[in-house]
């Protein structure tokens, strides 16, 4: 597919430029907003020219926000930390539980296997609201309300099905021949799983983990109802800039930028796995 | 090689061990995941029970078992059918657009060049903005006075374009935001799938001088289908349960124009304290999702089998 | 000199001298206003402590559920005084306003004891009270500290937060339970951009037809500006401010009582006349994004000079007079919608404090509520923070507060005084309040979008409301 003519390449270039514009312009605009005062943001008509200010970031990082007439205490950095703990632990737990299960579904035909797999996926289609109020009752009884542990457990509803199904697809794509050969050499099952199967499926695992991390990071309603301000993630924290005395758009924009940075850095670090996916093609090719 | 063969091949060395161990292994591997999440079935059961009750928190003395009455009321309720219709429409449109756009993007970024790799990470940025907050930003950007999009659209001559505030463009607007947030999800899954396809068929086709459209429809697309199904399935599950974007932008309005399931159920539960009705609403949503997912997964399993046979 | 200052402060606290005199004389002693205020706070706490065993619950920790609001900020700023006076500790969870009530509803419905007291609106108590989640404060008000002076709280607000639980029964009527204590409140009036009104040579609107005309004039004459901001999102919050205030002024009611049963009445001729004008006004000169227009947009647009006036909470206009583009240009006017009406009839929103029925330390919670709704804290918040509008007459009479408002918010006091006598909740209390008002808002949206004529829309609404009332046995 390398025999592409120049106008085809030009057409592709234009398409990519337009697509990038659509997806990145709003991000760029939010980035600009994060350096503006609320007064600059609320101008008619909107304009990209302004005197940049770091006040929004300063307020978020220092934890104090001077609004219309009063000073608010905010804990946005704590919110980011909470988001990180919740998302990272949820994904780790999901990987621990999901990767072996995905392997089992991909490699073995066993009684009830598809049923178990489907049940696990079906957690994803229980509407979150449906279980929320009963869950709150049980959480209060079990002492899980307002704990990281409780939320990480509930977040499995988001992260586990995603990891399970994506990784399963990858395992199915990896030929079992290499594992087979390795085990003929006298290595245990566990060794071949850890040394051969998992490394080969690494791009899939990385992509699934990153996506699961993002979805956990973006969750809103579980944390709102099942936790108090101690464990509140950024999604709830960012709403604190909507105050009775006005919406602090500049702070929301800065908050959004700050909240995207950790995931973005993660994505950059994992970019090699995420988009290269090299080992897989090489094995099969 | 069929899946069956592979399964046997992988299982071969294990034969040296006890047969029981071999039979137990898949269960040992998959059950922990099930056990950890099974706790969720208990609240699910409680919710089913709620849906069979007259249960409004503000009328504690009228609480009682009413069988399927909550559901029976839906049959004659035009608002309910409006909700079903809007939710399905929203799902079909968003998943359709996101699939087409996501697939195009994956194809455009298919080759491993530094620019493509960088772009593919940059393009998932919208996915990293929490929908609840992203919607707030979009609400501002489409504000008729301060919004940059309103301004740009105004420059293009559409000065009366009202985005989410007008019944005729509200669906378009929330779909636009959904597409903006979630297309990268499609793209990244399809891109990963595209790049993991075996090269042989493509190299052979190139040598034979097969036209690009033939390659796409007869080789790329069939081999990519399992990925397309997985990605669409996850998008569908989220789209039919869409809440954050619609609630933040229009709260289900204008009128009842965007009253999708979760917005309606949220209002019923948290604003009207009508737990029974809310649970019944969500059970219907659950049933629809269940049926749709089942269809998807059957298809997925069938295609997996076929792809592996082909490979 | 310190003794002298202390005497002065004591004189001021017991209202023997005016605030102006107090500050003047303090300055002569070389004490800055901030330090003077600090001294007053401490002395006020001591005065409050007199004759009551505030230390009874020493060592206990009260936990609160609060909304992110200037009232909360004012409370937190003064909290150390409470802690010092009682030896108690106070912990609180603050949630954003956008999701606050969802959090409250979820928490209370789980019958959890973790929060002892929380902020609520009066309308919410019409659900929470019958649900059995609230404590009737009457039993505690009888044991209030001697200087608590419950009767100092504006009578309309006391009544508006009390209800017998019988659907349709008058607020504050026979057998009413005091479900919540008023904390701060807002009434609905006109806040307008004086710069624009002066430029166009206009006086603030006199009544609804006049408002409609002036709004249209602004939309025509003031470049890029629209005439009038009123809420329009698909939410109960769209109905209770300007809309219901004007609706009431036209003599319309949400319900009529017939044989002890509720009957939807929003489609009365008066209701139709008012709603027709209202919808017409929005179509003509309201914001283009009206149907997604919440409290925040109403305020933002006024503050940023995008709208000429708003008919909404007076304190929204108050907030927009600082830290905005139009700061200093916002003026206030009481507003009676019906031509020839005797007085304005503003519906009110009352941020109140309620006690969780599942609390395990109710008396300790009451100690905090008593302090937070007391005169001392009200005075502090009104003089030094944005704890407005105060719910106590003594605070409204306070010179320090009046001086500050008169100086920074010209016309606000006059607006308040003209509006206050007729200010109360004009909704008929019943537990389906939110169903009704949300549907009402959706119905208004359809009218503005020309999907249904006003008369027909109101008829359909009344019919639907009657059906819902019947389904829960209220009709």
- Give the pLDDT score at A113: 81
Residue in B with minimal Cα distance to C111: B57
Q: Rounded distance, CA C319 to CA C299, Å? A: 8
Task: Say if residue A185 is in the same domain as residue A235.
Answer: yes
> Which of A30, A61, A92 is the last residue before a domain boundary?
A61
User: Does a structural domain hold residue A69?
Assistant: no
Mean pLDDT of A146-152: 94
Residue B116 burial (CB < 10 Å; 0-12/13-18/19+)?
middle
A134 CB neighbours in chain B (<8 A) are: 42-44, 46-47, 50
C135: tokens are: 């404590």
* Chain C: residues touching B (Cβ < 8 Å): 101-102, 105-106, 109, 126-128, 130-132, 224, 233-236, 287-293, 297, 300-301, 304, 306, 431-432, 434-435, 438, 441-442, 445-446, 449, 451, 472-473
Q: DSSP code of C189?
A: E
* Sign of torsion over alpha carbons C62, C64, C70, C71: negative
Angstrom CA distances, C22 to A268, C17, C379, stand at 63, 7, 15
CATH of region C50-184+351-417: 3.40.190.10
- Work out how many domains chain A is built from and give that number: 2
DSSP string, B64-126: EE-TTHHHHHHHT-HHHHHHHHHHHHHHHHHHHHHHHHHHHHHHHT-S--HHHHHHHHHTTHH
Query: How does residue C20 score in pLDDT terms, banded at 50, 70 and 90?
Result: low
HSE-CB at C287 with a 13 A cutoff on CA atoms is: 31
Confidence grade of residue C45 (pLDDT, cut at 50, 70, 90): low
Query: pLDDT per residue over B145-200, tens digit each?
Result: 899 999 999 999 888 889 999 999 999 999 999 999 999 999 988 888 888 777 88
Q: Strand C61-67 to strand C117-121: parallel, antiparallel, or no bridges (unpaired)?
A: parallel
Question: Are C103 and A69 a contacting pair at CB < 8 A?
Answer: no
Asked whether the beta carbons of A78 and A238 are under 8 A apart, the reply is: no
Check the CA dihedral C14-C18-C22-C28 and report its sign.
negative
- Length of chain C, in residues: 475
With a cut of 80, say whether residue C313 has pLDDT above it: yes
Query: Is B132 in Cβ contact with A267 (below 8 Å)?
Result: no
CA–CA distance from C155 to each of B209, B269, C122, C151, C245 (Å)?
A: 89, 34, 14, 7, 19
Q: Quick one: tokens of A90? A: 């949820």
A98 and A172, same domain (yes or no): yes
Nearest residue, CB atoms, B164 vs list C105, C292, C435: C292
User: A246, A247, A249, A250: which to substitute to probe chain C, counting the most C Cβ within 10 Å?
Assistant: A246
- Mean pLDDT for the stretch of residues C377-405: 95
Res. B10: pLDDT tops 80: no
Average pLDDT, chain B: 87
Specify whether A118 is located in the same domain as A244.
yes
User: Which position has the higher pLDDT, B311 or C206?
Assistant: C206
Question: Residue B151 has which token pair?
Answer: 């301004």
CATH number of the domain where residue A233 is located? 1.10.3720.10
The mean pLDDT value for A11-33 works out to 95
| Domain ranges (residues) in chain C | 2-48, 50-184+351-417, 187-347+425-471
Mutate to test the interface with B, among A22, A38, A83, A127 (most CBs of B within 10 A): A127
Residues A30 and A99 in one domain: no
Q: Please indicate, yes or no, if residue A199 is contained in any of the structural domains.
A: yes
Whether residue A126 sits in one domain with residue A26 = no
Give the whole-angstrom CA distance, residue C138 versus residue C178: 6
pLDDT, tens only, A224-245: 999 988 899 999 988 888 877 7
- pLDDT for C336-356, tens place per residue? 999 999 999 999 999 999 999
Alpha helices in A34-173 (DSSP H): 38-41, 55-62, 76-107, 113-122, 128-142, 148-173
| In the predicted structure, residue A205 carries a pLDDT above the cut 80 | yes
Asked whether the beta carbons of residue C96 and residue A242 sit closer than 8 angstroms, the reply is yes
Residue A284 burial (CB count, 10 A): 15
- Model confidence at B5: pLDDT above 60: no
Q: Do residue A218 and residue B26 have CB atoms under 8 angstroms apart?
A: no
Average pLDDT, integer, range C390-396: 97
Query: Which pLDDT value is given to residue B6?
Result: 43
> How many Cβ pairs within 8 Å bridge chains A and C?
104
Instruction: Name the interface residues of C facing A (CB cutoff 8 Å).
Output: 67-70, 73-74, 76, 93-99, 102-103, 106-107, 109-112, 114, 224, 295-296, 299-300, 303-306, 319-320, 322-325, 385-386
Contact C127 B160 (CB under 8 A): no
Any domain includes A47 = yes
Sign of CA dihedral B56, B57, B60, B64: positive
Task: Write out the residue range of the structural domain in which residue A49 sits.
Answer: 6-61
pLDDT value at B44 more than 80: yes
**Contact (Cβ atoms closer than 8 angstroms) between residue C227 and residue C307:** yes
- A222 in a domain, yes or no? yes
A97 and A209 share a domain? Answer: yes
CA-nearest residue to C442 within chain B is: B255
Q: What pLDDT, on the 0 to 100 scale, is given for residue C46?
A: 64
- Asked if the Cβ–Cβ distance from C306 to A44 is below 8 Å, we say yes
pLDDT at B17 over 80: no
What does the pLDDT look like over B49-102, one tens digit per residue?
999 999 999 998 889 999 999 999 999 999 999 999 999 999 999 999 999 999
Distance CA A237, CA B129 (A): 14
Q: Is A121 within the bounds of a domain?
A: yes
Q: Residues A77-100: what's their mean pLDDT?
A: 95
Cα radius of gyration (chain A): 23
pLDDT (mean) for B122-149: 92
Q: Are B101 and B179 in contact (CB under 8 A)?
A: yes
CATH 1.10.10.10 given to domain C187-347+425-471? no
Instruction: Please determine, for residue B1, whether its predicted confidence score (pLDDT) is greater than 50.
Output: no
Let me know whether A41 and A80 are in one domain.
no
Q: Is residue A160 a part of any domain in this protein?
A: yes
Where do runs of H (alpha helix) occur along chain B? 3-11, 19-38, 41-51, 69-75, 78-108, 114-122, 125-128, 131-141, 148-155, 170-195, 200-208, 212-214, 221-240, 244-249, 261-266, 275-310
Which pLDDT belongs to residue C122?
96
Least confident of A224-238, C57-71, C286-300: A224-238
pLDDT reported for residue A185 = 86
Assess whether A179 and A89 both reside in one domain: yes
Q: What is the pLDDT of residue B206?
A: 84
- Picking from C234, C357, C461, C473 by the largest number of B CB atoms within 10 A of its own CB, the best residue to mutate is C234
Alpha helices in C110-148 (DSSP H): 122-131, 138-141
pLDDT at C2 (0 to 100): 61
- Give the model's confidence band at C285: pLDDT under 50 very low, under 70 low, under 90 confident, else very high: very high
Tell me, yes or no, if B144 comes closer than 8 A to chain A by beta carbon: no
Higher per-residue confidence, C229 vs A172: C229
The torsion of the CA quartet A181, A184, A190, A196, rounded to 10 degrees, works out to -10
pLDDT reading at A72 higher than 70: no
Q: Which residues of B touch C (CB under 8 A)?
A: 56-60, 62, 139, 142-146, 160, 162-167, 249-256, 267, 270-275
Chains B, C: CB pairs < 8 Å: 105
pLDDT for the residue A214: 94
Q: Residue A195: inside a domain, yes or no?
A: yes
Residue A243: DSSP 8-state = E
Instruction: Find the mean pLDDT for residues A183-209.
Output: 86
**Same domain flag for A34 and A103:** no
Q: Is A66 inside any structural domain?
A: no
Reported as a pLDDT band with limits 50, 70 and 90, residue A280 is very low
Domains and CATH numbers, chain B: 78-310 (1.10.3720.10)
Same domain, A36 and A166: no
């Amino acid at each position: 597919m390398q025999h592409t003519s120049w106008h085809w390449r030009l057409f592709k270039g234009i398409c990519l430029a337009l697509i990038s514009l659509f997806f990145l312009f709003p991000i760029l605009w939010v980035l600009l907003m994060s350096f503006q005062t609320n007064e600059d943001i609320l101008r008619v008509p909107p304009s990209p020219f302004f005197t940049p200010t770091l006040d929004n970031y300063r307020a978020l990082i220092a934890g104090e926000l001077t609004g219309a007439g009063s000073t608010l205490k905010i804990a946005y950095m704590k919110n980011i930390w909470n988001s990180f703990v919740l998302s990272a632990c949820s994904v780790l737990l999901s990987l621990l539980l999901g990767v072996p299960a995905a392997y089992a579904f991909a490699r073995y035909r066993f009684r009830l296997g598809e049923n178990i797999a489907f049940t696990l996926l079906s957690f994803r289609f229980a509407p979150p609201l449906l279980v929320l109020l009963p869950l709150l009752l049980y959480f209060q009884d079990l002492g899980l309300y307002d704990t990281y542990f409780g939320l990480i457990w509930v977040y499995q509803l988001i992260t586990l099905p995603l990891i399970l199904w994506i990784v399963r697809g990858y395992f199915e794509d990896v030929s079992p021949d290499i594992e087979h050969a390795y085990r003929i050499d006298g290595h245990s099952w566990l060794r071949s799983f850890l040394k051969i199967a998992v490394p080969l499926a690494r791009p899939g695992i990385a992509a699934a983990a990153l996506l699961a991390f993002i979805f956990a990071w973006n969750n809103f309603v579980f944390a709102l109802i099942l936790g108090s301000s101690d464990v509140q993630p950024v999604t709830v924290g960012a709403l604190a800039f909507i105050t009775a005395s006005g919406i602090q758009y500049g702070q929301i924009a800065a908050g959004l930028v700050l909240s995207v940075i950790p995931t973005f850095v993660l994505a950059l670090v994992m970019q090699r796995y995420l988009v290269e996916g090299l080992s897989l093609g090489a094995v099969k090719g | 090689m069929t899946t069956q063969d592979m399964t046997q091949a992988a299982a071969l060395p294990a034969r040296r061990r006890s047969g029981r161990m071999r039979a137990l292994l898949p269960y040992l591997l998959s059950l922990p995941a099930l056990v950890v999440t099974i706790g969720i079935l208990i609240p699910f059961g409680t919710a089913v029970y709620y849906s069979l009750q007259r249960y409004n928190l503000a009328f504690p003395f009228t609480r009682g078992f009413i069988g399927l009455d909550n559901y029976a009321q839906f049959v004659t309720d035009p608002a309910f059918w409006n909700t079903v219709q809007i939710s399905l429409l929203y799902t079909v449109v968003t998943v359709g657009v996101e699939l087409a756009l996501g697939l195009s993007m994956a194809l455009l970024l298919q080759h491993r060049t530094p620019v493509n790799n960088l772009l593919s990470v940059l393009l998932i940025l919208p996915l990293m903005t929490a929908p609840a907050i992203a919607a707030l930003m979009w609400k501002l950007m489409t504000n008729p006075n301060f919004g940059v999009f309103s301004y740009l659209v105004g420059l293009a001559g559409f000065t009366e374009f009202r985005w989410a505030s007008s019944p005729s463009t509200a669906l378009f607007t929330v779909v636009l935001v959904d597409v903006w947030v979630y297309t990268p999800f499609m793209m990244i899954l399809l891109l990963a799938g595209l790049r993991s396809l075996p090269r042989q068929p493509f190299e052979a086709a190139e040598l034979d001088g097969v036209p690009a459209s033939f390659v796409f429809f007869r080789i790329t697309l069939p081999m990519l289908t399992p990925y397309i199904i997985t990605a669409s399935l996850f998008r569908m599950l989220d789209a039919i349960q869409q809440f954050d974007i619609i609630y933040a932008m229009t709260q289900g309005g204008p009128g009842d124009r965007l009253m999708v399931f979760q917005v309606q159920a949220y209002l019923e539960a948290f604003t009207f304290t009508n737990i029974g009705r809310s649970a019944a609403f969500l059970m219907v949503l659950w049933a629809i999702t269940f049926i749709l997912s089942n269809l998807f997964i059957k298809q997925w399993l069938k295609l997996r089998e076929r792809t592996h046979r082909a490979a | 000199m310190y003794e002298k200052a202390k005497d002065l402060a004591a004189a001021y606290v017991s209202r023997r001298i005016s605030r102006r005199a107090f500050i003047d004389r303090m300055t002569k002693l070389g004490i800055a206003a901030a330090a003077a205020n600090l001294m007053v706070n401490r002395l006020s706490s001591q005065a409050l402590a007199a004759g009551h065993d505030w230390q009874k619950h020493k060592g206990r920790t009260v936990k609160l559920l609060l909304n992110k609001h200037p009232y909360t900020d004012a409370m937190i700023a003064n909290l150390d005084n409470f802690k010092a006076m009682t030896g108690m500790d106070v912990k609180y969870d603050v949630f954003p306003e956008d999701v606050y009530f969802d959090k409250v509803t979820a928490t209370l419905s789980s019958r959890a004891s973790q929060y002892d007291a929380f902020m609520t609106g009066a309308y919410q108590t019409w659900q929470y009270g019958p649900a059995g989640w609230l404590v009737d404060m009457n039993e505690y008000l009888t044991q209030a500290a001697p200087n608590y002076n419950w009767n100092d709280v504006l009578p309309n607000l006391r009544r508006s937060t009390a209800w017998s639980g019988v659907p349709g029964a008058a607020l504050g009527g026979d057998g009413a339970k005091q479900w919540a204590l008023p904390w701060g409140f807002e009434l609905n009036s006109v806040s307008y951009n004086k710069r624009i009104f002066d430029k166009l040579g206009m006086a603030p609107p006199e009544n609804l037809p006049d408002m409609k005309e002036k709004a249209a004039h602004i939309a025509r004459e003031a470049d890029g500006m629209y005439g009038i901001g009123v809420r329009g999102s698909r939410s109960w919050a769209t109905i209770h401010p300007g809309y219901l205030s004007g609706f009431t002024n036209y003599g319309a009611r949400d319900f009529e009582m017939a044989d002890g049963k509720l009957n939807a009445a929003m489609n009365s001729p008066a209701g139709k006349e008012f709603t027709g004008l209202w919808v017409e006004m929005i179509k003509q000169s309201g914001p283009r994004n009206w149907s997604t227009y919440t409290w925040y947009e109403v305020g933002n647009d006024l503050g940023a000079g995008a709208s000429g006036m708003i008919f909404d909470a007076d304190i929204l206009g108050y907030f927009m007079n600082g830290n905005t583009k139009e700061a200093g240009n916002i003026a206030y006017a009481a507003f009676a919608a019906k031509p020839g009406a005797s007085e304005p009839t503003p519906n009110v929103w009352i941020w109140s404090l309620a006690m969780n029925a599942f609390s395990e330390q109710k008396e300790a919670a009451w100690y905090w509520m008593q302090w937070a709704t007391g005169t001392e804290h009200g005075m502090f918040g009104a003089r030094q923070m944005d704890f407005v509008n105060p719910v106590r007459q003594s605070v409204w009479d306070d010179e320090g507060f009046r001086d500050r408002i008169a100086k920074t918010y010209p016309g606000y006091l006059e607006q308040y005084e003209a509006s206050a006598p007729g200010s109360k909740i004009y909704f008929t209390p019943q537990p389906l309040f939110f169903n009704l008002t949300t549907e009402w808002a959706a119905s208004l949206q359809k009218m503005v979008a020309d999907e249904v004529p006003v008369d027909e829309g109101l008829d359909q609404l009344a019919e639907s409301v009657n059906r819902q009332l019947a389904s829960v046995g209220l009709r």
